[in-house]
Structures are given as structure tokens and as C-alpha cells.
């Protein structure tokens, strides 16, 4: 099995974004240490919009340099750095704290086509120049990659040939989110052309699906309960706030849901079971998603245990090391 441990490297986007130190620098340093011990590597999808927005404010130079240095450290350590876009940074402003304006700006599809294309070009150019190499893999912010037809031509222009956004069975429709992966192939990898959920033989793009798992309400009751009973072990290290997902929390507490496999928080409990599911389905790839900001003491322990147990059994890979 080829295992891809991937992390979306970003702040929070709610009323409290969290700090660079807590959301990014400290938890990522811990993830580095696990990788070094067993000679494995991760893929980091870097939220470039934050960096571009922070460039406008001299008082953020220290944070900006901390993040730039850590991103370059990723590359120096052999980790893979790829493109992650949250376009609402185009409208974010700083005045001692970040003020996020996600209204009609959370998805790339919220922008006129010419602005959408300009954002993708600008963000990819910035990241490529920062790390000194060409990125070629994309993950959409909030999994909002649909409709992909809006992105197709600019991706072809820029040499973006791989996506890793889809998690089969995923569905989240709100004012801000537009995620519908119900018809996505239940495969770990496939090719596509105009629609990320439609497999096309010899398509121009390859989807490395984030593994999905069926979570039952009892899992979420434990997730929310443990965070309150044992906060030092289970609360997120980033200490920020998510944006609203339009009632998803209550839905998860009352019925099963198909959601991504993650190294975040209590979700890390299901890493081994999810891997076994992928093996049973005879998948060749097992892609997880995580966020340094959403790490907890518990999830870091479980992630390290997962790496320690399987680094000699399976292949831990990155997209630039295929």
C-alpha cells in the first residue's frame, strides 16, 4: 500500500484565526520529528493566500518569515509542498486580528472567471518562487473544487496535473460550501477531464482521492465529549474557530456520514481501521488529510503510532517522489 500523509497548512477562518505559532509552527515541528525518526515524508498543501495577504502588512513580517522559513524547511527535509487555495484571503484584512470576509468569496467559483484564473496564476507563481520548484498538485480549500470545468484550462496552462480534493461519498451544501462527491468513483486513483467525479480513461488529470470512512453518531458523541472532559489531551492545539458548516455537527450526531480519513484530533483513532478498509478494497493508495492547526495531543500520539507501526510494512510516499 502506498500511504500519503497530507496536511493542509493553514490558519482557521472563523472569528478567531489562531496564531501562526500555535496553528502552524509548533505542531508542524512535532510532525517533522516523527518523520525524521522513521525516514518518512509528508505532503503539505500550503495555503498561499495567507502569505500573499500578510505581505501587505509590515507588522506581520515576523509571522510571515516564520512561515516562509518553515515551508522551506519542509523542502529541505524532503517533504512535498503543493498548492492549496482559499481565495477568501483576497478580501481578508488585518487590524491587530484578521477579519475574514468569506461571503461569496470562499470558493474559487464565487469569483468571475477572469479573477479566478488570475488568483490561481498568482498563488501558484508565489509558491513556486518561494520553494524554488514547480508545484503540480492541487487541493481546493474547503474541498470546493466544483465545477472543475472553471479550472481546467488554467490548470493545463500551469501544468497542474494532479488533484487530491475528492473524498468519495462526501457531501456538504451550505451558503459557503459546494461539495458533492456522491458520484465520485470509489477508487483511490483515477483519471478525469471536465468533472472530478467522472472517470475518463486517459483524462488529462489524475485524482488521488482522500480516503473516506463511514462514521456513526457514537463516534461524534465521543469526539465532542472527550474534548470537554479531557481538554488538554483532545482540544486542538491551534485554538481557533472554524467557519460554520451549516448544521453538519447536528447531522453527524444523529445519523451516519461518509467523511474523509484524517489525522486530526479524535479522527486519528480510525487511521488503522481505515487503512484496513483500503486494503480490503484492494486499493493501491491510501491518502489521509490533516491540518497542523487541528492536531491534538491525542492525534499526535496516534499519528506517531501509525507511522511507527507501518513504516516498514507499507510505502509512505509523496506526490513528488512517485
List beta partners, residue 258: 214
If you average pLDDT over every residue of the chain, what do you get? 94
How far is residue 127's CA from residue 48's CA, in Å, rounded to a whole number?
A: 7
Neighbours of 285 (CB within 10 A): 18
Alpha-carbon distance of 9 to 45, in angstroms, equals: 6
**% of the chain at pLDDT higher than 90:** 85
pLDDT score for 247: 67
Between 139 and 322, name the one with better pLDDT: 139
Which of the two residues, 29 and 221, has the higher pLDDT score?
29
- Give me the domain span that covers residue 314: 2-321
Q: Quick check: 47 and 11 in contact, CB under 8 A?
A: yes
pLDDT value of residue 213: 93
CATH classification at residue 125: 3.20.20
Which tens digit of pLDDT belongs to each residue from 267-307? 999 999 999 999 999 999 999 999 999 999 999 999 999 99
Name the region of 96 (left: φ>0; alpha: ψ -120 to 50; beta: rest).
left
* Mode of pairing for the β-strands spanning 80-85 and 43-47: parallel
Stretch 17-32: mean pLDDT, rounded? 97
Q: Which of these, 285, 272, 282, 280, lies nearest to 317 by C-alpha position?
A: 285
Of the listed ranges 74-88, 248-262, 269-283, 306-320, the least confidently predicted one is 248-262
- Domain tally for the chain? 1
- Please report, rounded to a whole number, the percentage of residues in the chain having pLDDT higher than 70: 99
Cell reading at 143: 474541498
Tens of pLDDT, residues 206-223:
999 999 999 988 888 888
The answer to whether 292 and 28 have CB atoms below 8 angstroms apart is yes
Write out the E strands in the chain.
2-9, 43-47, 80-85, 93-94, 98-99, 137-140, 162-163, 171-173, 178-180, 189-192, 205-208, 212-215, 257-260, 285-290, 315-316
Compute the distance between CA of residue 229 and CA of residue 227 in angstroms, rounded to an integer.
6
| The pLDDT of residue 322 is above 70 | no
Give 148-177 as a DSSP string: GGGTHHHHHHHT--EE----TT-EEESSS-
Amino acid at each position: 500500500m502506498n500511504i500519503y500523509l497530507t496536511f493542509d497548512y493553514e490558519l482557521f477562518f472563523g472569528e478567531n484565526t489562531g496564531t501562526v505559532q500555535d496553528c502552524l509552527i509548533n505542531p508542524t515541528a512535532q510532525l517533522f520529528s516523527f518523520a525524521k525518526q522513521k525516514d518518512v515524508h509528508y505532503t503539505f498543501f500550503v495555503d498561499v493566500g495567507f502569505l500573499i495577504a500578510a505581505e501587505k502588512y509590515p507588522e506581520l513580517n515576523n509571522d510571515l518569515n516564520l512561515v516562509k522559513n518553515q515551508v522551506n524547511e519542509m523542502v529541505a527535509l524532503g517533504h512535498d509542498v503543493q498548492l492549496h487555495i482559499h481565495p477568501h484571503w483576497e478580501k481578508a484584512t488585518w487590524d491587530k486580528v484578521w477579519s475574514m470576509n468569506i461571503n461569496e468569496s470562499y470558493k474559487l467559483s464565487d469569483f468571475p472567471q477572469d479573477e479566478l484564473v488570475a488568483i490561481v496564476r498568482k498563488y501558484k507563481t508565489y509558491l513556486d518562487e518561494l520553494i524554488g520548484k514547480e508545484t503540480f498538485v492541487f487541493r481546493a480549500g474547503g474541498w470546493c473544487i466544483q465545477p472543475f470545468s472553471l479550472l481546467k484550462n488554467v490548470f493545463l496552462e500551469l501544468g497542474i496535473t494532479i488533484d487530491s480534493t475528492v473524498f468519495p461519498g462526501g457531501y456538504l451544501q451550505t451558503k459557503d460550501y459546494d461539495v458533492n462527491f456522491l458520484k465520485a468513483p470509489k477508487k483511490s486513483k483515477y483519471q478525469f477531464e471536465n468533472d472530478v467525479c467522472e472517470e475518463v480513461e486517459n483524462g488529462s488529470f489524475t485524482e488521488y482521492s482522500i480516503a473516506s470512512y463511514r462514521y456513526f453518531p457514537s463516534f461524534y458523541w465521543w469526539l465532542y465529549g472527550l474534548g470537554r472532559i479531557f481538554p488538554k489531551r483532545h482540544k486542538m492545539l491551534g485554538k481557533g474557530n472554524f467557519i460554520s458548516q451549516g448544521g453538519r455537527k447536528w447531522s453527524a450526531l444523529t445519523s451516519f456520514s461518509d467523511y474523509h480519513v484524517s489525522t486530526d484530533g479524535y479522527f486519528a483513532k480510525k487511521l488503522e481501521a481505515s487503512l484496513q478498509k483500503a486494503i480490503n478494497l484492494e486499493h493501491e493508495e491510501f491518502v489521509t488529510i490533516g491540518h497542523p492547526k487541528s492536531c491534538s495531543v491525542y492525534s499526535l500520539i496516534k499519528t506517531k503510532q501509525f507511522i511507527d507501526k507501518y513504516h516498514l510494512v507499507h510505502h509512505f510516499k509523496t506526490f513528488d517522489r512517485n
